[in-house]
Amino acid sequence: MRSLSLRLGAFLVGLFLAMALLSLLYPVDPNAPDFLNRLKPPSPEHPLGTDPLGRDLLARLLHGAKNALLVGVIAVSVASTLGALLGLLAGYLGGLWDGALSLLMEALYALPGLLLALLFAALLGPGAVSSTLAVGLSMIPAFFRVARAGALSLKTAPFVEAALALGASPTRVLLRHLLPNLLGPLLVQASLAFAAALLAEAALSYLGLGTQPPEPSLGRMLREAQSFLPLSPYPALVPGLALSLAVLGFNLLGDGLRDLLDPRR
C-alpha cells in the first residue's frame, strides 16, 4: 500500500512538473484574447477549449501550473529554512529561547494556515510576491514543530554527546549532527506543505490577493469561470481538476515518503 501511494504520488507530481515545463515550449500566448471564440469546447485548435475571453485553456493551464509551482517552491523553501533553523535552536538551547519561540509558534499554529496567509497578504498587499511570502510565513510553525521535536529527542543522543566531548561547537552539532538526522521528517513535511501551498496560492488568487491578471493562476481561472458554468464547464473543470490532482499527488507522495523513511518499518 505504501509503495502504491508513493508511486501514484510521484506520478501525479511528475505530471504537474511536466505541465509546468511544457509551458516553456507551448507556442500559444496564454493572455491573447479571441472574442470570436469565447467558451469554445475542446477542438484541434484549442485542445482544452477556450475561456470567457477566448484565451486558450491549455496555454493558461500550463502557465498557471508553472506559476503555482514557483510559488510553492519559494514558499516551502522559506518556511522550511526558517522553521527548521528556529526549531533546531529552540530544541537544542532550551530554556528561555525554547519557551519564547514555542509560545510564538503555537500562537501562530492555533490559527488556520489559510487565515494566516490572508492576513499576511492583506498586510503586504496583493501580488505574486506578497502571496508567496504570505504562504511561506504561514507554514513556518509546522516546520518549527518538526525540527524542535527532533532536536529535543536527539540532543542527548550518544553521538551528540561524543561530538561535544571532542570539542565540536554548538553550530557544528546543529548543522552536522542534528540537521542530517531530521532531513527525513522535514522532507515529508515539505511534501505535505507543498500541497497546502498550492491550495493557499489558489485561494489567494481566487480572492484577488495572489497572482494578478492577466497572468494565469489556477485560482484566478476558477473565479473567472464561475459565472459561465451554465454556458461551458471547461473553464472551471480544467483548472479545478489540475489543482485537485496536484494536491492529491503531493499528499500521497508525503504519505509514501513518511512510510518509506520511518525507521520503525
How far apart (Å, rounded) are the C-alpha atoms in residues 90 and 85? 9
> Which sign, positive or negative, has the C-alpha torsion 83, 195, 229, 23?
positive
Chain segment 88-133, per-residue pLDDT in tens? 998 888 888 888 888 988 888 887 767 777 777 778 777 888 888 8
Strand partners, 262: none
At 1, the pLDDT band (50, 70, 90 cuts) reads: low
How far apart (Å, rounded) are the C-alpha atoms in residues 76 and 81? 8
**pTM of structure:** 0.88
For 48, the 3-state DSSP assignment is coil
What pLDDT is attached to residue 95? 81
In the chain, the amino acid numbered 19 is: M
Mean pLDDT of 52-74: 93
